[in-house]
């Protein structure tokens, strides 16, 4: 019978511990040392037949090198199967070359990880025009989970005004907005967005009267600069929304930006724990554990350690 354990990059330790506990797995932290010249030394815990590697891949470049080194050590020490759990998966947004000479980061990252691990599990990957994440990772297993069940469950548990209108800040957010609104039996609408630059956008909503005198909840997959959220919040306030809150799967913006969100009229912003962030309010361990239980079917589970 094969063995299985979970190992994590240091940045994901808290969420990884919760996931390991939910799955009843042994837990280990990958050790990373940085030399003065910037190179890394990586050491893993003892290898098991199957190793689940937990890695939130925001600020990704050093983390990707760490993963490559960890995979090398685990394979050399007997790991037969590597499963990458990357709740936030980097470099997915560029799926085409829009100008001469541009790299297609999604393709490069997909090929790299497909030669490194045997399965990729992520959440709300920023895929744009790629309908199936399996096409990103040739020859291996890959799943793109939705955070919306966890988000809707958390909102329902905390209590939500039934008059709330769920708002998508752009057309790309429509699948998430529709899902959350359906689960909570709320009305929803999606804003139209015109982008004038990385930090300049204009938004419009088809039915402004729907917002008058009602609270609004913006739902999106990624918040990076927050420009779109702030523009949408200002528009919602101008249309008469009584309060504007925001929730996102991936909080990639600097914590200092929270003050600017408040100034733009956003009462609160919450995120999942896909990446460590002060706004984390929703754990993904339940949906991740459900996806990973297939790995436990034939595995012998060693005693959980810390």
What's the confidence (pLDDT) of residue 131? 83
Give dist(CA 295, CA 72) in Å, integer: 21
Query: Given 63, 80, 193, 234, which residue is catalytic?
Result: 193
80 carries an active-site annotation: no
Q: 36-66: b or e for each residue (b if 16 or more CB lie within 10 Å)?
A: eeeeeebebbebbbbbbbbbbbbebeebbeb
Residues 177 and 136 in one domain: no
Residues 92 and 175 in one domain: no
Asked whether residue 306 is assigned to any structural domain, the reply reads no
In terms of domains, do 11 and 141 share one? yes
Task: Mark whether 38 and 137 lie in a shared domain.
Answer: yes
The reply to whether the predicted model has a pTM over 0.75 is yes
Residues 131, 239 within the same domain? no
What pLDDT tens digit does each residue of the chain (306 aa) get?
Answer: 689 999 999 999 999 999 999 999 999 999 999 999 999 999 999 999 999 999 999 999 999 999 999 999 999 999 999 999 999 999 998 888 888 999 999 999 999 999 999 999 999 998 878 888 999 999 999 999 999 999 999 999 988 999 999 998 888 888 889 999 999 999 999 887 665 455 556 667 777 788 889 999 999 999 998 888 898 999 899 889 999 999 999 999 999 999 999 999 999 999 999 999 999 999 999 999 999 999 998 665 555 544
210 and 107 part of one domain: no
- DSSP type of residue 137: S
Instruction: Say whether both 122 and 195 belong to one domain.
Output: no
Q: What is the pLDDT of residue 194?
A: 63
Instruction: Residue 69: give its domain's CATH number.
Output: 3.40.50.2020
Number of structural domains the chain divides into = 2
pLDDT at 306: 47
What letter does residue 239 receive in the DSSP assignment?
T
Residues 187, 168 share a domain? yes
Nearest in space to 71 (alpha carbons), one of 60, 79, 63, 59? 79
103 and 157 share one domain = no
Instruction: Assess whether 32 and 178 both reside in one domain.
Output: no
Do 119 and 86 share a structural domain?
yes
- Is residue 295 included in any domain, yes or no? yes
Quote the domain boundaries for residue 43: 2-146+284-300
Provide the 10 A C-beta neighbour count for residue 183.
Answer: 16
Q: Is residue 260 one of the residues assigned to a domain?
A: yes
State the Cα–Cα distance between residues 81 and 292, nearest whole angstrom.
13
């Amino acid at each position: 019978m094969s063995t299985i354990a979970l190992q994590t990059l240091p940045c994901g330790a808290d969420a990884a511990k919760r996931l390991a506990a939910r799955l009843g797995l042994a837990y280990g932290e990958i050790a990373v040392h940085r030399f003065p010249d910037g190179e890394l030394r990586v050491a893993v815990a003892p290898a098991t037949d199957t190793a689940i590697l937990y890695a939130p891949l925001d600020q990704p470049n050093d983390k990707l090198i760490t993963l490559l080194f960890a995979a090398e050590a685990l394979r050399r020490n007997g790991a037969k199967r590597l499963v990458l759990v990357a709740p936030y998966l980097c470099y997915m947004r560029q799926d085409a070359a829009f100008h001469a000479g541009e790299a297609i980061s999604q393709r490069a990252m997909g090929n790299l990880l497909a030669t490194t691990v045997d399965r990729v599990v992520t959440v709300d990957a920023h895929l744009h025009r790629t309908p199936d994440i399996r096409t990103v990772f040739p020859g291996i297993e890959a799943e793109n989970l939705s955070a919306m069940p966890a988000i809707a469950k958390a909102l329902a548990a905390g209590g939500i005004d039934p008059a709330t209108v769920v708002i998508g800040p752009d057309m790309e957010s429509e699948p998430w907005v529709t899902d959350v609104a359906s689960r909570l039996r709320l009305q929803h609408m999606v804003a139209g967005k015109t982008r004038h630059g990385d930090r300049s956008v204009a938004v419009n909503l088809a039915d402004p009267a729907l917002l008058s005198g009602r609270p609004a909840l913006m739902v999106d997959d990624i918040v990076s600069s927050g420009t779109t959220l702030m523009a949408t919040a200002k528009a919602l306030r101008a249309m008469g929304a009584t309060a504007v809150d925001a929730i996102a799967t991936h909080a990639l913006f600097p914590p200092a930006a929270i003050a600017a969100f408040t100034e733009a009229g956003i009462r609160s912003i919450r995120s999942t724990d896909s990446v460590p962030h002060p706004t984390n309010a929703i754990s993904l361990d339940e949906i991740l554990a459900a996806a990973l239980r297939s790995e436990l079917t034939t595995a012998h589970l060693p005693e959980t350690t810390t």
